[in-house]
Amino acid sequence: MASAMMEALMALCQEKHIDELYLLDRLEQSLAQSYASLMHLDWGAKVTIDRMTGKIYVYKLVPIDDSMDEEGNYTEFEEIDVTPKDTSRIAAQHAKAEINAILRNAAREQIYEEFSQRIGDIITGTVLQSTPDFTIVKIREGVEAELPHFDRKRHPEERNERPNGERYTHNMRLKAVIIDVRDPNAQISQPVRGEHSRPSIVISRTHPELIRRLFELEVPEIYDGVVEIRSIAREAGARSKVAVSSLDDRLDPVGACVGPKGSRVRTVVSELRGERVDVVLWSDDPARCVANALSPAKVTRVVIDEETNYATVVVPDDQLSLAIGKEGQNARLAARLTGMHIDIKNESLAAGMFPKTPAPVEEAEDLVGEESTHRCEFVSPSGVQCRNMARPGSRYCGVHEKMALVDSAEVSDDPDSLI
């Protein structure tokens, strides 16, 4: 029987790619603890397994009197054979438990080694189970991830990575980014789900990196590095702002991200369950960058205090509520996007406050107009301006240059009105 058990162990080790010597050492340690408890051995037991026959020997440890060290601990023991008759039955039980434990630990370590290098990557998974505190998502066969959405008031040490308003049902497919991979060898005990530990991989649907990865999937120019996402500000489930720039002056980065008739950004919005996404043009000029970040509001003047990183923005009276946004959302996202403190004032209030402002309204308007002359000025009957770049020496792109000559009624001659 012992020989048959040994053959089965060796076959299993080869099938599961487990080190045979490591498994036998684990079995010997586990059996020694069990026999010491069952046989009430004061000084413990030692178990050896014959590597050829599989026969198990149990030895009682008896300390040698003159082997005590300075701290009062015995360093040498006499081994007395006390092998019971039913060692094979007990060994089989321990072998099953140890093999299962080794397989679980090996799987966790393999997952940790693979996915700890993929933090920030996007994954597509299928919802297996959703609880009030977290959702289990299947990435592939044998690999699961946890999307936590704990109540932070009751569990301040936990995460909430689910956007407001999202609910997940069984077999629903969703995309998320990996934000953490728990080390299986860490001594931190995790709450359990039934009889199993929580998955090692933690994913998020609220992280700004999710928007970056979604645009990389939908916009080839971003994936190739021609268009770069410079900054992202997000309030998950409600609204986000993305600032982009282009390494090619002939390519409009905003138009590339929006796509033909808005197809690309619409795909991103669909994956985010209807979250509004504003794509704006990034500029190395702080004033212009702040003005773009407050889109769709029109900005008259921007005054930058570089020492305090403070921006004072003047907008027309009828644009004040649009610049601030609902509950301050637009201004708040613009501040996060640019990394500046933004104070928004209407023209009526700012007229008496900045009589000596070095940047007059005309200069700010010329600044915006200069940017607009590089874009095609064709406007569709629905009032949407073409997002392509104008051809050199022309006010229109190659598509609309001839069309504008035929139907001048669809073209606006005032560049400032197109901003």
Place of tokens 């005309």: 362
pTM of the model: 0.68
**pLDDT, tens digit (0-9, with 9 covering 90-100), for 100-143:** 777 777 778 888 888 999 999 999 999 999 888 899 999 988 89
pLDDT of residue 88: 62
Positions of the chain with pLDDT lower than 70, given as ranges: 1-3, 5, 67, 72, 87-89, 91-92, 95, 187-197, 352-374, 381-384, 402-419
Cα–Cα nearest to 170, from 201, 130, 142, 205? 130
User: Long-range contacts made by residues 101-105, C-beta under 8 angstroms, separation at least 24?
Assistant: 102/18, 102/22, 102/23, 102/26, 103/16, 103/18, 105/184
pLDDT of residue 26: 81
**Residue 384 DSSP class:** P
pLDDT of residue 361: 37
**pLDDT, tens digit (0-9, with 9 covering 90-100), for 379-413:** 776 666 777 777 777 777 777 776 655 554 443 34
pLDDT of residue 196: 52
For residue 259, what are its two tokens?
């796509």
Distance between CA atoms of 418 and 375, rounded to whole angstroms? 10
Distance between CA atoms of 213 and 71, rounded to whole angstroms? 60
pLDDT of residue 137: 95
Distance set, CA 317 to CA 60, 224, 305, 311 (Å) = 91, 42, 23, 18
pLDDT of residue 45: 87
Distance between CA atoms of 405 and 42, rounded to whole angstroms? 102
pLDDT of residue 352: 65
pLDDT of residue 372: 39
| Main-chain phi, psi angles of 58, to 5 degrees | -115, 130
